[in-house]
Amino acid sequence: MKKALFIIGLCLGITAGIEAQHCYHLVWADEFNSDGIPSAENWSYDTGDHGWGNNELQNYTCSPANSYVKNGILTIRALKQEGKWSSARLVSKNKRDFLYGRVEVMARLPEGRGTWPAIWMLLTGWEYGGWPESGEIDIMEHVGYDPLTVHGTVHTAAYNHVNGTQVGNSINVPAAFTNFNLYAIEWDSTGIDFFVNNEKYFSFANDGNHNFESWPFNKPFHLILNIAIGGNWGGREGIDDNLKEALMDIDYVRVYSTSDAPKITGPAKVKPRSAATFSLPVQTGASVEWLLPEGVRRSKRSAGGESIRVKWGKHSGTVNAVVTNSCGRMNAHPHPVDIENTKK
């Protein structure tokens, strides 16, 4: 069900009613297009069976039995064997860390009483101390005994479940087990908004007091994807005795920023008078104006738009483009192209 990624300049006016639009640019995505184990460039593993502070039952492993990519889908699999549970907890820590922007995860959740899947974020550097001082952003949490409800929550030193002050909200997602749904946050220095399928259901505002106790969300965080079994919350109503397996499927993870200009893809070197193609994926309805260096001509077969095919000239040059959408005009990163030396 993966949709083509036609998003570099992304305009989002997402909630019900009239909201200000926000323009985002894709800075990283994992589309899970390569079968096998999850990409080591993007993900590592938390491992162990010590309960993780919540009396959870699973042993987190790096085994492909517990996390694997197939047919464009990342699957996290909790598995019961000989009375013991194993699962996976994938983390992007020190590989893909983010400060502000929009984070999206398209996921189908596991079913079964006793499951506790989560899509969440922690501070990478732990600058403010341990949990909850360094904060936690729960983009999506679900417990199997409450099958129709998804939760979005923040934890800080001032707001956490230890002292009963945690802040969050929930939303009804009746097709959480059968359909892929989009779980997302939009996060900047003023607050964090939580969305399911682009419906905003919770906002957490920065109180402006400039203290980490209530707002530790001013430094890079990383993503975590996992299924826990049992625990203080997930196991509150027990675990189904017939449950042997639980699967969370992830179609994609995408992270957007308001700070990075779109990037042109194409060759860095070409031969004189050779053909070359340059691309700049854009959302539906956006237009691209290609600015070609002297001596470079558009191919007669090229329709332009988000991709352009050209016949290069005799000299090096730089390809530029301007994207126009409902957020306005933005310049792409210039794409320099050098002429290959064909002399032996």
DSSP labels, 278-308 = EE----TT-EEEEEPPTT-EE-TT---TTEE
Q: Tell me the residue ranges of DSSP E strands in 1-114.
A: 9-12, 22-30, 44-45, 59-60, 67-70, 73-81, 84-87, 89-91, 97-98, 101-108
What percentage of the chain exceeds 90 in pLDDT? 77
Catalytic residue among 56, 104, 141, 306: 141
Active site residue 141: yes
Determine the topology of domain 9-257 in CATH: Jelly Rolls (2.60.120)
Domain limits of the chain?
9-257, 269-339
Domain 269-339 has CATH 2.60.40.10: yes
Catalytic residue among 56, 133, 136, 306: 136
Cα 11 to Cα 46, 57, 255, distances in angstroms = 35, 42, 14
* Closest by Cα among 340, 266, 337 to 308: 266
Average pLDDT, rounded, for the chain? 89
Active site residue 56: no
Contact, 270 vs 312, CB < 8 A?
Answer: yes
How many angstroms separate the CA atoms of 249 and 107, rounded?
6
Evaluate if residue 8 carries a pLDDT over 80. Answer: no
Predicted local confidence at residue 21, as pLDDT: 47
The distance from CA 129 to its chain's CA centroid, rounded to whole angstroms, is: 25
Q: How confident is residue 343, by pLDDT bands cut at 50, 70 and 90?
A: low
How many angstroms separate the CA atoms of 281 and 23, rounded?
15
Q: How confident is residue 286, by pLDDT bands cut at 50, 70 and 90?
A: confident
Mean pLDDT value of segment 105-119: 98
Region of 72 (left: φ > 0; alpha: ψ -120 to 50; beta: rest) is left
3-state SS, residue 232: helix
Evaluate if residue 135 carries a pLDDT over 60. Answer: yes
* Closest by Cα among 179, 191, 183 to 215: 191
259: phi then psi, degrees, rounded to nearest 5: -105, -20
Contact, 310 vs 299, CB < 8 A?
Answer: yes
> Comparing 9-257 with 269-339, is the CATH topology the same?
no
Mean pLDDT value of segment 240-247: 97
Beta-strand relationship, 97-98 and 67-70: unpaired
Predicted local confidence at residue 180, as pLDDT: 98
How many angstroms separate the CA atoms of 128 and 206, rounded?
17
CA dihedral of 131, 133, 139, 144, whole degrees rounded to 10: 40
Mean pLDDT value of segment 245-262: 88
Evaluate if residue 155 carries a pLDDT over 80. Answer: yes
Q: How confident is residue 260, by pLDDT bands cut at 50, 70 and 90?
A: low
How many angstroms separate the CA atoms of 179 and 166, rounded?
29
- Which range has the worst mean pLDDT, 108-117, 191-200, 271-280? 271-280
How many angstroms separate the CA atoms of 268 and 288, rounded?
20
